[in-house]
Chains A and B, each alone.
Chain A
Amino acid sequence: MSDAAREATREPTGEQTPAPAGPPRSTRVPAFIRRYGPPMLITLAAVCLWQLILPLAHVPEYLLPTPSEVAADMKADWPVLEPALLVTAWEILLGFVIAVAVGVGLAVLLHLVPVVRRAAYPLLIGSQTVPIVVLAPILVILFGYGIMPKLVIVALICFFPVVVNGIDGLRSVDGELISMMRTLNASRWAIFRRVEFPAALPSIFSGMRIAATFAAIGAVFGEWSGSNQGLGYVMLAATPNLLTARIFAAVVFLTLIALALFGAVSLLERIFVPWAPEENSR
């Protein structure tokens, strides 16, 4: 009998349970709609309400524009908004990547070297008590009007949740599992790369998702402190001219950047942490 034939005829012995099936679902709604339908509906309803109420209340556009006026401005101001969008998106993305690299690196270092953890952890917490509001002007003085101070601010805001979640994740590993690995010829490094780091990945991604929502704030703040381009600068320049619709347009774009970053992180998590339970089926 060939190997393949034997393989085919051999029944797995004894007990077995079927692969875990999801909870029974009464409705046959596509997953996409079940997941994104409700928030999209609420957003749509809010936008419609906003659009309908403002004219009734006779609010002038320079105080509060309607969604349609914001949309019209997006089109009209696209030549101004597009370069600003690209600048800010780049600041956010680059700052975020730096934050994740530094954050994960620091978490690993602090985890592997207990002395460093004891020495640096209080400083790490302390660094978060210094308000960025205070730091931003200093960074502008140090690094000028270029991209550098924005990257530093974005990274400063974003690295913290990554570090803290990373350290927690690395420490969350079952002590019994580590004992067992030690009896299975595992070196410290083998335990780290085969057990601790994979086990920490879900936590690290949680930290990254939090960081992704902070990144846009950091970039705008950096631009407000000193810049001549970017969405933050566009908002700042539009304010004295009462170009309120343009400010709103910039806000919409900022939100979209943050959402895109959040989505990208979630996508990466699905690729790199396929064993994690899906948010939906929890």
Chain B
Amino acid sequence: MAGTASAIAIELREAGKAFGEVVALTGINLLVPRQSRVGFVGPSGGGKTTLLRIVAGLLESDTGLVRVEDASTARQRLAHCALMPQRDLLLPWRTALDNAAIAVENRGASRAEARRRTRPLFERFGLASFENARPAQLSGGMRQRVSFLRTLMAEKNILLLDEPFGALDSITRAQLQEWLVQAMDAVPRTVLLVTHDIEEALLLSQRVVVLSQRPGRVVRVLEADHGFVGSRREIVTSPEFVSLKEQALEALES
């Protein structure tokens, strides 16, 4: 039964994926505890996005087993996961609020009902008074916040974030990283985060999985549940953090 089954939300055993001749992922073994946050770093083209798409149920693993909650086929997994893509992909014909609420509408709620349910979080995420703005009128950082909220409104237990801040400038990214930690603490979910930025992975997740060059395999798993407190500058320059970062860099070089 779900209650006693395990505290494991996602399990991958010897998962792998090839696209024709190109092997994207091979021999991936991973256990993700419920409500934990796991970051994936690795060189581009290393199959990070493929891994997310397999977990999401958008792709099926060629080998082994992929289980998300009690779902093991791709179609079943799709019901458990919500994906936030790298680009915000907001719909230009919808207002910011309606973009955030689209998953609620997809579940069959009327537009008015979807708005009513989304509005409180919209305000909590610092987007109040931008409900009726078109995506083109929002800054890049605000668009990503709307995009994250849209993912959250799918009310899935598992969030898959694919380089959520990859397209932003570094200052905005730093602000949004802090914002995202607070947002995730407020609404705890199991989160898989793909990024090419080691610092971002260490800051946002409790565990960091380092993937190799293609064919992607797990090189190293770092426990980053540091429980650091303080400002971003204090955290990033603390000896523990620097040491973790070094280990990750070393794993990437190997």
The answer, yes or no, to whether A7 is at the interface (CB within 8 Å) is yes
The answer, yes or no, to whether B48 is at the interface (CB within 8 Å) is no
Interface string of A180-197 (1 = CB under 8 A from B): 111111110010001100
B177 to chain A, nearest CB (A): 12
8 Å CB contact of B128 from A10, A174, A180, A186: A10
B126:A12 contact, CB within 8 angstroms: yes
Q: What is the bound-complex CA distance between A190 and B151, given in angstroms?
A: 16
User: Contacts A7-B129, A19-B137, A174-B89 known; A183 to B172 CB distance under 8 Å?
Assistant: no
Question: Which of chain A's residues has its CB closest to B81's CB?
Answer: A183
User: Contacts A180-B85, A185-B103, A275-B92 known; A14 to B141 CB distance under 8 Å?
Assistant: yes
Q: What is the bound-complex CA distance between A194 and B150, given in angstroms?
A: 14
The answer, yes or no, to whether B83 is at the interface (CB within 8 Å) is yes
The answer, yes or no, to whether A68 is at the interface (CB within 8 Å) is no
B175:A195 contact, CB within 8 angstroms: no
Q: What is the bound-complex CA distance between A177 and B93, given in angstroms?
A: 14
B90 to chain A, nearest CB (A): 10
Q: What is the bound-complex CA distance between A185 and B101, given in angstroms?
A: 12
The answer, yes or no, to whether A20 is at the interface (CB within 8 Å) is yes
Within 8 A of B (CB), among A232-270: none
Count residues of B near A (Cβ-Cβ below 8 Å).
Answer: 42
A interface, over-half SS: loop
Q: What is the bound-complex CA distance between A182 and B128, given in angstroms?
A: 28
Q: In the complex, what residues of B have CB within 8 A of residue A172's CB?
A: none
Q: In the complex, what residues of B have CB within 8 A of residue A281's CB?
A: none
B172:A15 contact, CB within 8 angstroms: yes
The answer, yes or no, to whether A198 is at the interface (CB within 8 Å) is yes
8 Å CB contact of A20 from B103, B126, B137, B151: B137
Q: In the complex, what residues of B have CB within 8 A of residue A12's CB?
A: 126-130, 142
Q: In the complex, what residues of A have CB within 8 A of residue B138's CB?
A: 16
Q: What is the bound-complex CA distance between A15 and B53, given in angstroms?
A: 31
The answer, yes or no, to whether B249 is at the interface (CB within 8 Å) is no
User: Contacts A10-B128, A176-B87, A179-B83 known; A15 to B107 CB distance under 8 Å?
Assistant: no
The answer, yes or no, to whether A13 is at the interface (CB within 8 Å) is yes
The answer, yes or no, to whether B218 is at the interface (CB within 8 Å) is no
User: Contacts A12-B142, A182-B78 known; A187 to B91 CB distance under 8 Å?
Assistant: no
The answer, yes or no, to whether A17 is at the interface (CB within 8 Å) is yes
**Which of B79, B81, B103, B150 counts the most chain A CB atoms within 10 A?**
B103
A183 to chain B, nearest CB (A): 4
User: Contacts A174-B89, A180-B85, A275-B92 known; A14 to B175 CB distance under 8 Å?
Assistant: yes
A13:B129 contact, CB within 8 angstroms: no
**Which of B84, B127, B139, B172 counts the most chain A CB atoms within 10 A?**
B139
Q: What is the bound-complex CA distance between A70 and B143, given in angstroms?
A: 58
Q: In the complex, what residues of B have CB within 8 A of residue A194's CB?
A: 91, 102, 105-106
Q: Please, could you name 12 A-B residue pairs with CB atoms under 8 Å apart, sorted by A?
A: A13-B126, A14-B175, A15-B141, A16-B141, A174-B89, A179-B53, A182-B58, A182-B78, A186-B106, A187-B106, A190-B106, A199-B91
On B, residues with C-beta under 8 Å from A are: 53, 56-58, 78-79, 81-85, 87, 89, 91-93, 102-103, 105-107, 126-130, 134, 136-142, 150-151, 154, 156, 160, 171-172, 175
Add 6 more A-B contacts to A12-B126, A19-B137, A180-B84 (CB < 8 A). Answer: A12-B130, A16-B139, A185-B106, A186-B106, A194-B105, A275-B93
On A, residues with C-beta under 8 Å from B are: 7, 10, 12-17, 19-20, 174, 176-177, 179-187, 190, 194-195, 198-199, 273-275
